[in-house]
Structure 1
């Protein structure tokens, strides 16, 4: 018989829970109070978790060390493997110049600042989140909007607010993959099944928020009255994103949710603007006469429906010009191609993302179309290279006891190496294929790969240590202690679940990290209360995304992108209320799903 967990090692449940929370408190204090780097904060929290496991919970040193090591390895595969190659894909589009074509096309899409914000911050930001994540959507879209003439601080606020819609499925579905991996043993199902359950659950919560976030953005940008003027664009953008997010998360794969939903939103908005335009083109008051004159001339030549007046009634940075002032002749050519509806120009700009979608769909074709012949079932072929490794010295060496389990049960510890089926491997293949088709030489791809390693080194170290903290807390019993404590909140637990996830993302800046920290605790708490654990885990991820806009790391990324370092506190003040209100909305949705609309919970 292995080492038996004790969920109240000191002074009863709540005193033990306070002790179990010490690694999280250390992480919070190091990040938020002492302003330490994320990787250093994670290292201090990991040392704290090991100390609590050994000296308070009585976990043997060997078991604690093995749990920490398994967490570190799991942080490499599959988590860092996925995150790294998502960023590698983006870096290749930049290195080949294709990203500049996309930027130019976006800049020339519409002279109306509201439409530009919807396209760039909401649509393109979601696409970047889907393939890269890690703060890149905030940095890139904020910098793009600032270059187009948006007030820098407002550009970052819009980017932070828009980034909430796609975060739960960012980085090729990495948050869902993490959540499924760390909770599958608690649910008694395979990792892939757990991942798909949580994907479906969040996919039945977040679309409600995706419908309203575009309207929130325009209110922040231009006010309530100006928001109403573009309601067709808001409905089409948010509606197409929400519908696609629901369908792909429930019936395809979490890896493709953001990419598909973002392209659907941008494509739908493009189609709408072929037939509809705002009655008044809203721009910033300080934009110069040359930009105004260019717009007036372009509008006079337009045959599109509706009055073509220009209205400027906001403030902007001095000297800002319109979209046509950014990007030179290349931008103008791409913009003209976009406005004229050039299919060839669009395919040229978006080819890398279309390749990525095609490769991901092909890798999941067996899930989409069950019963395919063996030679056509690419999914099954890729899965043949998957290896399960029971972790030596930890697998079934820890015993969980009631009330966490109905009876004493060995705790499995299995590392799954899905060598070819992992989204990280699929993204690597798609990147190489897209890079070669874009004209990159193999040596150039290798150089970008090395640059990505340097770029991501500290982020990867942070991911590994966060997962290590999670594994130590899980196998020592600390996570179960916290779960039992939160179970005392009773029927309101789904509401608290959203704020627990929100806190996790605020602490770590990552929905994937928050899922690894709090996902098991949420599942255990729900099991104790008789609430469906799928709802609790999904709500942890859905509520967590609302903490993204106030996370210190993301505030710093946004401020740095526009050259406003030191303005993080100002950004926090402008986003905090929105963050709390949206988290509350997720909590209310979860509470209703737990008590009234129980049929919305996937089985």
Structure 2
């Protein structure tokens, strides 16, 4: 029997929750009010989390030190590894000059900045989220827009806003696969069955927001009046995504939702622009309309466009190849590249922590040792796949090995503070998880009774804020949400889906994602400005998810699958 968690160390839930939330408050105040850099704010939050674990929860020092170490290493692998290689991929396209071709191709698609934002941030970002996830859409699309002439901070804000609707199904449906795995036994279901139900339920929540997000983005970029001028493009982008998201989530597979929806969204936008153009081309105030290069002939434009996008076609092809076994499980062994890559995965029980902490009811149905496993998916990680794609694309674009190494080192120097931030944010999450502080906060939300379906969305939001990952938030809070729902008479499928759908809205304010976005545009230290521009939008969009969940729990129960 290891060290047993106590979720009410002060003898009462609400007082304990107030102190459990202290590290989050310190992090937000340092970042958003005191305007400290992300890595300084994360260091202050980590120090506070360690103090709460020791002084309030009474966690032994050796367990605390081990949890901190695991969080720091987990921040490197796989989180920082993915973000780093996504930025490296973009830097390779810039170094080889291919990005200038992409700029011309996008200008040929539409010189209107509103339509460019819809195409890159929402459509292409959703495709990257679907096949890779892990912060890569924010890094790549923000860097692309900044290089095209978007104001850098605004480019990241748009990327963060766009990276909401697709997150629940990111990484080929990984958040829902994780949720089904950790909660299926609690609902007396096979994990695959639970995953299908959660996928269908999320597919009946997020399409409403998928219709809203594109318009929301353009309003942030250009204002209400300028948004009204491009309503056909906005509607086509959102409707194409939402319809495909609903259909694939409910009738096909969570692994294909984002890929199909992103292609449907971009295809719908392309089709609309072939028969309609905005009455005026909207550019930034400092742009000279006359400086726009004349459009090439149709055949030349098509050839130039395909050549420009070659690096990204390579990226998507390599990622698809690495995930082919998930998409086609019946493949023979020799063709299953996914199985080859996964064979190199190593799982390490973390010394001094693995199953040394015991979780108890109501977080778990019975006393359960808390695992502490570090999974090193050395070849299957989206970061490794992005690195392989960057090298292949670099050689295709005639970069020398010396050039690729030079860009790699320059990327490390560029991202050093973002990497430190990611490591400390994940350390905060672990130092709150293993003493039980995170569970205390989750239980406090669960005490809201009749309003629980509304606040269930904020539990997921909190989990993604802490970890930067919807899959991690589902692993962290999914079981608690399901158990709480069962105790309150709420459908557990709805509660798990609310954790997922609410969690995606926390993505835009997660410090690690703010750090990745800021670094991608060369604005390290501007994370506080990003947080101030996204925080209340994140809160409001999570409230929208909460309202949808509340209505589905009490008025529209026919919408709950199963």
TM-score interval, normalised by the smaller of the two chains: 0.7 to 0.9
Residues 14-163 of structure 1: pairs in structure 2 closer than 5 A? 14-112=14-112, 114-123=114-123, 132-134=136-138, 137-138=141-142, 140-141=144-145, 144=148, 146=150, 160-161=157-158, 163=160
1:397 aligned onto 2:352: no
Q: Structure 1 residue 458 and structure 2 residue 458: aligned?
A: no
Structure 2 counterpart of 1:294 = none
Partner of 2:280: 282
State the SS of the aligned residue for 1:404.
coil
Q: Quickly say closer, same or farther: Cα 1:517–1:37, change in 2 above 3 A.
A: farther
Q: Which residue of 1 aligns with 2:542?
A: 583
- Superposition deviation, residue 228 in structure 1: 5.4
Q: Distance in 2 between the 1:96 and 1:198 partners?
A: 43
Contact 2:72 2:424 (C-alpha < 8 Å) held by counterparts:
yes
Q: Give the number of aligned pairs.
A: 546
* Inter-partner Cα distance in structure 2 for 1:171 and 1:139: 23
The corresponding residue for 1:306 is: none
Deviation of 1:101 after TM superposition, in Å, equals 0.9
The residue aligned with 1:542 is 504
1:345 and 2:316 correspond: no
State how far apart, in whole Å, the 2-side matches of 1:502 and 1:247 are.
Answer: 25
- The residue number in structure 1 matching 2:484 is 528
- Residues of 2 paired with 1:238 and 1:442: CA distance? 42
Query: Match of 1:265, SS?
Result: helix
Deviation per residue, 1:323-366 (Å, 9 max, x gap): x615xxxx54xx425x6684322211111111121112211212
CA distance in 2, matches of 1:589, 1:178: 20
Which of 425, 431, 438 is 2:390 aligned to?
431
Instruction: Give how far 1:69 is off.
Output: 1.0
Shift of the 393–223 alpha-carbon distance from structure 1 to 2, 3 Å rule, reads closer
- Of 283, 291, 294, the residue aligned with 1:325 is 291
- Whole-angstrom CA distance in 2 between matches of 1:434 and 1:559: 21
Cα deviations by residue, 1:114-166 (Å, 9 ceiling, x for unpaired): 544533554456567767345663464256355xxxxx6xx966873564232
In structure 1, C-alpha distance between the alignment counterparts of 2:200 and 2:403, rounded to whole Å: 39
Post-superposition CA distance 1:453-503 (Å, at most 9, x none): 111111111111111111121111111211221111123233224345556
Tell me the residue number matched to 2:450.
Answer: 491
* RMSD, aligned α-carbons: 4.3
Displacement after TM superposition at 1:66 (Å): 0.9
TM-score by length of 2: 0.81
Aligned to 2:330, what secondary structure does the other structure show? coil
Report Cα offsets for 1:96-115 as digits up to 9, x if no partner. Answer: 11111111111232355554
* C-alpha displacement of 1:61: 0.9
Contact 2:31 2:527 in 1 (8 A): no
Q: Deviations over 1:236-277 (max 9, x none)?
A: 2222333455677786676x8767655543343233323x12
Shift of 1:399: 1.4
Q: CA deviation at 1:599?
A: 7.4
1:432–1:35 Cα change, 3 Å = same
Q: Deviations over 1:184-240 (max 9, x none)?
A: 667769999999997776555333222233334455667767655644323322223
Distance apart, 1:558 and its partner CA: 11
Mapped partners of 1:34, 1:5: distance in 2: 33
The equivalent residue for 1:336 is 296
Deviation at 1:402, TM superposition (A): 2.0
- 1:204-283 matches, cutoff 5 A: 204-218=204-218, 227=227, 230-245=230-245, 261-262=261-262, 264-274=264-274, 276-278=275-277, 281-283=279-281
Work out the CA distance in 2 between the residues paired with 1:412 and 1:421: 22
1:409 aligns with 2:406: no
Q: Does the Cα contact within 8 Å between 1:494 and 1:591 map onto a contact in 2?
A: yes
1:381 aligned residue: 340
**Secondary structure class of the residue paired with 1:108:** helix
Q: Counterparts of 1:560 and 1:374 in 2: how far apart (Å)?
A: 44
- The residue that corresponds to 2:427 in the other structure is 468
- In terms of mean alpha carbon deviation, does 404-413 or 593-602 score higher? 593-602
- 1:165 partnered with 2:165: no
Residues 549-571 of structure 1: CA distance to partner in whole angstroms, max 9, x if unpaired? 9x98799789987xxx89959x9
Structure 1 or 2, whichever has the larger Rg, is 1
Q: Say if 1:126 and 1:258, in contact at 8 Å, map to a contact too.
A: yes
For residues 161 and 91 of structure 1, the distance between their equivalents in structure 2, rounded to whole angstroms, comes to 20
**3-state SS of paired residue (1:389):** strand
Q: CA separation of 1:37/1:229 partners in 2, compared to 1, >3 Å: closer, same or farther? A: closer
Q: Which runs of 5+ in 2 are unaligned?
A: 487-491
Distance 2:22 2:53 in 1: 11
Aligned CA distance change for structure 1 residues 198 and 89 (closer, same or farther; 3 Å) = farther
Any gaps of 5 or more consecutive residues in structure 1? 147-151, 288-315
Secondary structure in 1 matching 2:545: helix
Q: Is the 8 A contact 2:394 2:404 kept in 1?
A: yes
For 1:415, what is the secondary structure of its paired residue? strand
1:394 match: secondary structure? coil
SS of the aligned residue for 2:434 comes to: helix
Q: In structure 2, what is the Cα distance between the partners aligned to 1:252 and 1:428?
A: 28
Aligned to 2:35, what secondary structure does the other structure show?
Answer: coil
Confirm or deny: 8 A CA contact 1:27 1:45 kept in the other structure. Answer: yes
1:429 deviates by 1.5
**In 2, Cα distance between equivalents of 1:458 and 1:341:** 43
